[in-house]
Amino acid sequence: MKTMIPELSSESVWMKDRQRVEEILQSMSKDGSNTLQVISDFDLTLTRFSYNGKRCPTCHNILEGSNAISNEARQTLDDLLHTYYPIEIDISRPVEEKLPLMVEWWTKAHELLVQQRIKKDELAEAVRQSEARLREGYECFFDCLHEHAIPLLIFSAGIGDILEEVIRQANVFHPNVKVISNYMDFDESGILRAFKGELIHIYNKREGALLNTGHFEELRSRPNVLLMGDSLGDLDMADGVQDMKNILKIGFLNDKLKERKQSYMDSYDVVLVGDASLEVPNAVIRFLTGNK
């Protein structure tokens, strides 16, 4: 088959229907990059899953590993992770069964973080000290979208203040980036007192998307979407997009490859395995912006 994007031929790229992927790309390319918007999850999608055999932290884990919380709280958060993460990634359980458990996880974790009286000015240091890593190729990803004025929505069930700090410290928090996430609410003395707004967890991104109609209304002239996620819950992030024409869904399959291969291939158009870099999304963006 004629290869528009050679990077798609790699062994670590799985596609159920390559022809369909090429058709979507052709149609999006014809419309031009001024009709494109990118919607991406953050944790374990824009950041790595592991490095040198060690798990990389999510936004929550960054705080968990920092001096901003006590040893006892760290242990409790770790116990919560070990209880609930296996449930998050278990494809044998239906979403309806997992949903209340996920709410329970996020709620317990956020309550515990609030009890820790975390200070706003401790966050930057927590991120600096952490092992969080954006995926290889992140400079090109963020810079290229910025250069072509393509809006990037980062839609995360993590912690907005932390993820902003990660991309700020990496010098890629450009003005074309908008974040929807769980934001911390600090009191006048800069101490965490609550989380703002509706909780976003792994399985309610649809509701989160529908609450942000203003954002999607502004982007009405961009009906072509590149969506990137690592969880099946991320597939709902584009539900607020108005008059959608094409969507290309790229999924990072980080963990339990064998068990989850089929469901990821059924849901995502392109599946990237083995803690992939951003090479494939970057190649797609290059193709859509006409940059070779």
Binding site for ligand C5P (CB under 6 A): 41-44, 58, 60-61, 81, 85, 88, 105-106, 109, 156-158, 202
Of 41, 230, 236, 269, the catalytic one is 41
Candidate list 230, 269, 275, 279; residue touching Mg ion; CB under 5 A: 230
Number of other residues whose CB lies within 10 A of the CB of residue 147: 13
User: What are the C-alpha distances in Å from 275 to residues 135, 158, 257?
Assistant: 8, 19, 11
Give me the least distance between CB of 50 and ligand C5P, in Å please: 13
Q: Is residue 31 among the annotated active site residues? A: no
43 is annotated as an active-site residue = yes
Q: How far is the CB of 17 from ligand C5P (least distance, A)?
A: 26
Catalytic position from the list 17, 31, 43, 275 = 43
How many angstroms from the chain centroid is the CA of residue 110? 19
- For the CB of residue 42, give the shortest distance to Mg ion in the complex, in Å: 6
**Between 28 and 126, CB nearer to ligand C5P:** 126
Q: At a CB cut-off of 8 Å and minimum separation 6, what does 89 contact? A: 231, 255, 256, 260
88 binds, among Mg ion, ligand C5P, none (CB under 5 to 8 A by kind): ligand C5P
Helix axes 279-289, 138-147, angle to 10 degrees: 20
Q: How far apart are CA 135 and CA 153, in angstroms?
A: 17
278 binds, among ligand C5P, Mg ion, none (CB under 5 to 8 A by kind): none
Q: Which is nearer to ligand C5P, 32 or 100 (CB)?
A: 100
Look at residue 156 and give the partner it binds from ligand C5P, Mg ion, none, a contact being a CB closer than 5 to 8 Å depending on partner kind: ligand C5P
* Residue 287: CB atoms within 10 Å: 19
- Site map for Mg ion, 18-57, x if CB under 5 A? -----------------------x-xxx------------
Shorter beta-carbon distance to Mg ion: residue 64 or 122? 64
CA distance 110 to 238: 26
User: Could you say whether residue 161 binds Mg ion (CB under 5 A)?
Assistant: no
CA dihedral 227, 19, 89, 209 (to 10 degrees): 30
CB nearer to Mg ion: give 41 or 236.
41
Centroid of chain to Cα 82: 21
Residue 161 near which of Mg ion, ligand C5P, none (CB within 5-8 Å, type-dependent): none
Minimum distance from residue 233 beta carbon to Mg ion (Å):
8
Instruction: Report, in Å, the least distance between residue 254 CB and Mg ion.
Output: 9
Q: Is 253 helix (H, G, I), strand (E, B) or coil?
A: strand
Residues 110 and 184 sit within 8 Å (Cβ to Cβ): no
Where residue 133 falls (left for φ over 0; alpha for ψ -120 to 50; beta otherwise) is: beta
Angle (CA) 237-227-184 rounded to 5° is 45
Of 44 and 248, the one with the shorter C-beta distance to ligand C5P is 44
Chain residue whose CB lies nearest Mg ion:
43
Point out the residues that are catalytic.
41, 43
Q: Applying CB under 5 A, which residues contact Mg ion?
A: 41, 43-45, 230
